Amino acid sequence: MNKEILNKIKRYNTIIIHRHSNPDPDALGSQVGLQKLLQRNFPEKTILVTGRDEPTLLWLAKMDVVPDNLYEGALVIVTDTANMARIDDQRYNQGAYLIKIDHHPNDDVYGDISLVDTNASSASELIARFAFDNDLELDAYTAKLLYAGIIGDTGRFLYPATTATTFDVASKLRRYNFDAAALSRQMDSFPYKIAKLQGYVYDHLELDENGAARVVLTQELLKQYELTDAETSAIVSAPGQIEDVKVWAIFVEQEAGYYRVRMRSKFMPINQIAKEHAGGGHPLASGANSANLAENDLIYQKLQAVAAHR
């Protein structure tokens, strides 16, 4: 599949790369990392990235302005996005050819061809492997982007998706001249208001006897702390640092009244629960949507059942 994708890249003069909305380091790392990789190896081509800029990650990468007319006859590549509904910038289907590159379960099949490997730690790992397998040149910034995506999605190589291949790819990327220690510090750092939110999470976490936990972040709370929904992602892993917590969910109220649900687990798969509530993701890291407090309770009850059967 790598060769087939490379052949398609060689064929098209204009390439537009998308990723999912509310991007994390892997979404940006794979998207912009692929752009920079292709720009270095195919400087004659027009290669752009699109989507909304994420204010908390502007230090990592920014998006281009892509006029509608550029989609005509273009190759479109979507990275790190399992579901079509989550693709940022819905013009992705206006090109001449569509490629999906992802590491999530392939429940929503789209694209003319796809490279989906659920054993990969991240989409950034897939892009790096694509580069190495095809002997493409990388520069330091490209390596930094891909490395950021890998350490972001593996939790600094903590999560089960981290494999020997992941370490091998990361080792190759570390040979390029970027400050990996500074990158890690940047990704570990957060503003004081996030620290206060983390304190709130610990103070208000509901935990049952089997290790199922939850906390609700209301719009009133977000306004009090002057936080956006995207900024709350910085504390998703916080409950997991508690020894007694096995599975957990953070319910973030949106301005429209529904809740964005971020679910995590240390051992037991929880992605089926996410699928049942307009979401999906990895077995141990998923996202969903909830219409109201009653659905929040239902999701938490399902997490409790999972924890009870461990």
Give the distance, in angstroms, between the CA of residue 305 and the centroid of all CA atoms in the same chain. Answer: 27
Per the structure block, which two tokens stand in for 266? 């240390």
d(CA 213, CA 246): 8
d(CA 242, CA 211): 10
Sign of CA dihedral 11, 16, 20, 23: positive
Q: Pinpoint the residues of the chain covered by CATH 3.10.310.30.
A: 192-308
d(CA 194, CA 145): 24
Give the distance, in angstroms, between the CA of residue 268 and the centroid of all CA atoms in the same chain. Answer: 20
3-state secondary structure 238-276: HHHHCCCCCEEEEEEECCCCCEEEEEEECCCCCHHHHHC
Per the structure block, which two tokens stand in for 75? 């190759």
Per the structure block, which two tokens stand in for 277? 């509530």
Q: Indicate the pTM of the whole model.
A: 0.86
Tell the CATH topology of 2-187: inorganic pyrophosphatase (n-terminal core) (3.90.1640)
270, 232 contact by CB (below 8 A): no
Tell the CATH topology of 192-308: Diaminopimelate Epimerase; Chain A, domain 1 (3.10.310)
d(CA 61, CA 54): 9
Per-residue pLDDT of the chain (310 residues; tens, 9 = 90+): 688 999 999 999 999 999 998 899 999 999 999 999 999 999 999 999 999 999 889 999 999 999 999 999 999 999 999 889 889 999 999 999 999 999 998 888 999 999 999 999 999 999 999 999 999 999 999 999 999 999 999 988 988 889 999 999 999 999 999 999 999 999 888 899 999 999 999 999 999 999 999 999 999 999 999 998 888 988 999 999 999 999 999 999 999 999 999 999 999 999 999 999 988 888 888 899 999 999 999 999 999 999 998 6
Q: Pinpoint the residues of the chain covered by CATH 3.90.1640.10.
A: 2-187
